[in-house]
Structure 1
Amino acid sequence: MSLFENENITLLAKYLDVETMRQKLIAQNIANISTPGYKSLNLRFEDCLQDALNSDKVNLETSLDNHFSNIPDPKKMEPFVEKDDTSKMRADLNNVNLEHEMTVLSANTIQYNLVIQRLSGSFQQLSYVIRGR
């Protein structure tokens, strides 16, 4: 296990990847707001993460036999894209709601920035330890 492969950093990096994917989907939804028949797309990851956290199984992939981890393996958690067929549609069968997309975009940006701050803090701690101060 390398210095930068701790569970916290790996999980935060995975979450950044997910937030980036979500940002792209939101942009795609907004770009297709006038496309007849287009259905908005959503990225589902939180459900997958919650299921992994609530799992009764213990992840036994460790560097030493006496180490146990309750943090799920990010490599095994994959987000999935879901087409929204439940929202109200316009006459052209497009269901993109600009207000909703902008709200989700704002929330996504806030979450992304929080994860960036947390990752930055983790790397600052590593830097502090390496310098020995």
Structure 2
Amino acid sequence: MKGLFPEHINLTAKVLDLRLQRQNLVSSNLANVTTPGYKPKRLEFEKQLQSALNLDARGKMTKTSDMHIPATFNANEFSGDTISKFKPRVVHGEDSVDVDREMVTMSKNSMMYNALTQVIKKNFQGMQKVIMDGAK
């Protein structure tokens, strides 16, 4: 049975959660920049996520036409439940907090988070349009 939400909504939600966890860790690192002996932490999940989704360098594409190059990842066969047990890896730092590095990480993470929220927003706008058109 086809669901109300697109199949990738669970995956998008999980990645949003991971990005939020990363943002919290970076904020913690910045808050402890003057704490003696504090070692920064970072959250790694991109490589493990690609591995969980069975993506390689070619697999980042989605085949939408028979004329396209074959890809490992097939969006039609994917369900967001694939990574429900996926655990990110928290890496404890070896150096002191580098404010510039943390700020770059925070900025990049924020942009990626915002991009994912736009994806979800478009899904809901599409549903809203269907509902509004059906009410006419």
How does the TM-score come out when normalised to structure 1? 0.74
Contact 1:53 1:71 in 2 (8 A): no
Helix, strand or coil at the partner of 2:111:
helix
Structure 2's unaligned 5+ residue stretches are: 56-75
Q: Distance in 1 between matches of 2:78 and 2:104?
A: 33
Q: CA deviation at 1:76?
A: 2.1
Name the residue aligned to 1:78.
87
Name the residue aligned to 1:31.
31
Q: CA deviation at 1:2?
A: 4.5
Contact 2:7 2:78 in 1 (8 A): no
Helix, strand or coil at the partner of 2:33:
coil
Name the residue aligned to 2:123.
122
Count of aligned pairs: 112
Name the residue aligned to 1:7.
7
Amino acid at match of 1:113: N
Structure 1's unaligned 5+ residue stretches are: 56-67, 90-94
Helix, strand or coil at the partner of 2:84:
helix
Name the residue aligned to 1:69.
77
Contact 1:45 1:79 in 2 (8 A): yes
Helix, strand or coil at the partner of 1:76:
coil
Name the residue aligned to 1:42.
42
User: How much identity, in percent, do the aligned residues show?
Assistant: 38
The root-mean-square deviation of aligned C-alpha atoms, in Å, is 2.0
Name the residue aligned to 2:70.
none
How does the TM-score come out when normalised to structure 2? 0.73
Q: CA deviation at 1:71?
A: 4.5
